[in-house]
Amino acid sequence: MDLTILLGLTITFIVILITKKFQLFIISKTCSKKQLPFPPGKKGWPLIGETPSFVSSPKKFILDRMKTYNRNAFQTSIAGETVAILCGPAANKFIFSNENKLLKFWLPYSVSKALAQQNANPNSNSYKMADEIAHKFLKLDNIQKFVGTMDSMAQQHLDTFWVPSLQVKVHPLIKEFTFELSYRVFVEYFNPNLKSLKELRDPFFEFIEGILSTPLYVPGMPYYKALKASKIVQEKIFEMVEKRKNKMGNDDHDHDQIDGDLLGRFLMVRDEDGSCVSKEDIARVIVGFIFASFYTTTTTIAFTIAYLSKHPHVYDKVLQEQMNIKRSKGEGEQLNWIDVQKMKYSWNVICETMRLKPPSPGGFKEAITDFNFAGFHIPKGWKIHWSAYSTNMNPKYFENPEKFYPSRFEGSGPAPYTFVPFGGGPRMCIGKEYAKIETLVFLHNLVTKFKLKMVNPNEKIFYNPDPIPVDGLKVHLQLHS
C-alpha cells in the first residue's frame, strides 16, 4: 500500500477514535437519558469536600457560588455526599411541592445517628402513633395553652438572671431559657423537678456542642462526646418515662396529664389494640423536638435582641406596641394568645432578624428519582439543599438586603417563596407556632423591663452553621423607671 494512503487511513482512524472518546467523555459528564448537563461546581477536597467552607460561612458560600457557577443551581460536596444546591424562589417552590415525589427529607448519617433516628422503624405502629401525637401537640390550638407558662417563665428568668446585672451575655442566657422551656413543655410540665432538668441539661448541652462537628468517632473528639452524651440523654428520658408511668399509676383518665406536657400525652394515648408508644419512640421525638427548637429559637431571640440594641428607633416602636398590651392587662395577669396576635410590629422585627440571620440555613433532601431543574440534570441519590440565603440576600426580592428594615414585612410582605424561614410543603416546620409564641412572649417581657445597648456593636459572629456571637453578645441593661 502507498505510504500516503496508509498515513491517511491512520490519521482518519485516530480522528475517529478521538471523536468517539470525546463523545463518550461528553456523555459521561452529562446524563445518558436526558442529555442535560449536571449543575456546574466543584467538589473540593477528598472526603471532606467543601464542608468546612459551607459550615463556617454559609452566606458567602452560597452567594459566591451563585455568582461563579449559576444563579439557579450548582453542585458541591458536603458531609461526604454530592449535593446540588438549588437557588431562588423557583427552587424553593420546586422542592417544597415535590417532597416525597422527586425528593425526600434527608439528614447526614452522623446527625441522624446522634439523634437516635437510626434504629427507628417508620413502619411500626408505635412510630406512626408517636408522630401523630407529636404533630397534634404542636398545633396552634394546643400550643397556645402554653402562652401563660411561657410568660411567667420569661419573667422569672429575667428577674433571676438579668435584673441583678448591669451587663449580661445574651446568647448563653437565652440557651438556658430555651432549654428550660422545652423541658417544661415536652418533658415535665407539672411540678418540674430541677434536679431532673439539670440531669438532662448537662448531657444535652454536650451533645449539641458536637453533633454538627466532623464525625470522627475517636475518644476526646467532639463528635465522640456528642454520641456518648446522646446515649445519656436517651437513658435519662427512659428513666423519666418509668417515673412518670409509676406516678400516673393505673389511672388512664388523668386529664391534667393529658393537657400537660408531651410525655404525659404519649403515655395516655393508646391505639384500638391497647398498645402505646414505645419508650424508644418517646425518646426519639422528645430529643428531636428539644434539638429542633434549641438553636433555632436561641438564635432568633438572641439576634432580635442584638438588632433592637443597635436600632433604638425600632426598639421604641416595639416598646410602644408591647406597652399598649401590658397596659391592657390587670396587675399580674398573664399574657394569652389574643395578646400575642396583637404583636404585629414585633413579629415583623423577628422576621427581619430571621431574614438576616436565618436560624435554619435551609434544608437537605435526597433525590429519589432522576429529575431536571433549570436546565440541569439531578440523578437519583444526589442530595439537594435549599438555602435561605439564596433569596433572603437577593436585592431583587429585598431592596438593600443588608439593611435591617422590619417595615419591609408590612402589607402583603415578601413575594411568594422568597422568605421561607420555616421551609414549606409537607415537611414544613411543625414547631413554627411554638417558636413564634416563645420569641414574642420573651420579647414582650424583655422590652417592657429594660432599655438595651450593645457593649460592642461590631461583635464578631462565627457560623457553625448557625450564627454564634464570639463574645456571647454582651448587652448593657437599664431598668425602666
Tell whether residue 292 is a contact of ligand HEM (CB under 6 A): yes
Tell whether residue 347 is a contact of ligand HEM (CB under 6 A): no
Q: Which of 422, 448, 451, 461 binds ligand HEM (CB under 6 A)?
A: 422
Tell whether residue 423 is a contact of ligand HEM (CB under 6 A): yes
Region 91-110 residues binding ligand HEM, contact defined as CB under 6 A: 105
What does the DSSP assignment read for 379-416?
A: -TT-EEEEEHHHHHT-TTTSSSTTS--GGGGSTT-SPT
**Rounded Cα gap, residues 313 and 309, in angstroms:** 10
Q: Which of 49, 363, 465, 467 binds ligand HEM (CB under 6 A)?
A: 363
Q: Would you say 112 or 336 has its CB closer to ligand HEM?
A: 112
Region 59-78 residues binding ligand HEM, contact defined as CB under 6 A: none
**Rounded Cα gap, residues 470 and 461, in angstroms:** 6
- Helices and strands in the chain, H and E counts: 19, 12
In whole angstroms, how close is the CB of 461 to ligand HEM at the nearest point?
17
Q: Which of 49, 406, 421, 469 binds ligand HEM (CB under 6 A)?
A: 421
Closest to 282 in 3D by CA, of 308, 262, 255, 300: 262
Q: Which stretch binds ligand HEM (CB under 6 A): 23-31, 84-92, 145-153, 424-432?
A: 424-432
Closest to 428 in 3D by CA, of 93, 124, 137: 93
- With contacts defined by CB under 6 A, how many residues of the chain interact with ligand HEM? 21
In whole angstroms, how close is the CB of 289 to ligand HEM at the nearest point?
5
Q: Which of 293, 309, 346, 391 binds ligand HEM (CB under 6 A)?
A: 293
Q: Which stretch binds ligand HEM (CB under 6 A): 20-28, 47-55, 214-222, 416-424?
A: 416-424
Residue number with the shortest CB distance to ligand HEM? 431
Q: Which stretch binds ligand HEM (CB under 6 A): 21-29, 207-215, 358-366, 406-414?
A: 358-366
Q: Would you say 138 or 335 has its CB closer to ligand HEM?
A: 138
- The torsion angles phi and psi of 462, rounded to 5 degrees, stand at -110, 160
Q: How many other β-carbons are positioned within 10 Å of the β-carbon of residue 286?
A: 27
Answer yes or no: are the C-beta atoms of 309 and 402 closer than 8 Å.
no
Tell whether residue 442 is a contact of ligand HEM (CB under 6 A): no
In whole angstroms, how close is the CB of 105 to ligand HEM at the nearest point?
5
Q: Which stretch binds ligand HEM (CB under 6 A): 53-61, 211-219, 422-430, 465-473?
A: 422-430
Tell whether residue 429 is a contact of ligand HEM (CB under 6 A): yes
Closest to 271 in 3D by CA, of 139, 127, 430: 127
User: What beta strand segments (E) does 65-206 contain?
Assistant: 73-78, 81-86, 103-105, 167-169
Q: How many other β-carbons are positioned within 10 Å of the β-carbon of residue 268?
A: 19
Q: Which of 296, 298, 346, 353 binds ligand HEM (CB under 6 A)?
A: 296
Tell whether residue 262 is a contact of ligand HEM (CB under 6 A): no
Q: Would you say 222 or 414 has its CB closer to ligand HEM?
A: 414
Q: Which of 104, 228, 342, 427 binds ligand HEM (CB under 6 A)?
A: 427
Cβ-Cβ contacts under 8 Å for 179 (sequence gap 6 or more): 201, 204, 205, 290, 294
Q: Which of 430, 455, 461, 468 binds ligand HEM (CB under 6 A)?
A: 430
Tell whether residue 435 is a contact of ligand HEM (CB under 6 A): yes
H or E stretch at 372:
strand 371-373
- The torsion angles phi and psi of 472, rounded to 5 degrees, stand at 80, 0
Instruction: For residue 249, give the C-alpha cell.
Output: 399509676
Cβ-Cβ contacts under 8 Å for 379 (sequence gap 6 or more): 31, 38, 367, 370
Reduce the secondary structure of 313-351 to three states and give it as a string: HHHHHHHHHHHHHHHCCCCCCCCCHHHHHCCHHHHHHHH
* Helix locations, 164-254, DSSP H: 170-182, 194-210, 222-248
Q: Which of 172, 401, 431, 472 binds ligand HEM (CB under 6 A)?
A: 431
Tell whether residue 297 is a contact of ligand HEM (CB under 6 A): yes
- The torsion angles phi and psi of 387, rounded to 5 degrees, stand at -125, 130
Q: Would you say 20 or 136 has its CB closer to ligand HEM?
A: 136
Question: Which residues contact ligand HEM by CB under 6 A?
Answer: 105, 138, 288-289, 292-293, 296-297, 300, 359-360, 363, 421-423, 427, 429-431, 434-435
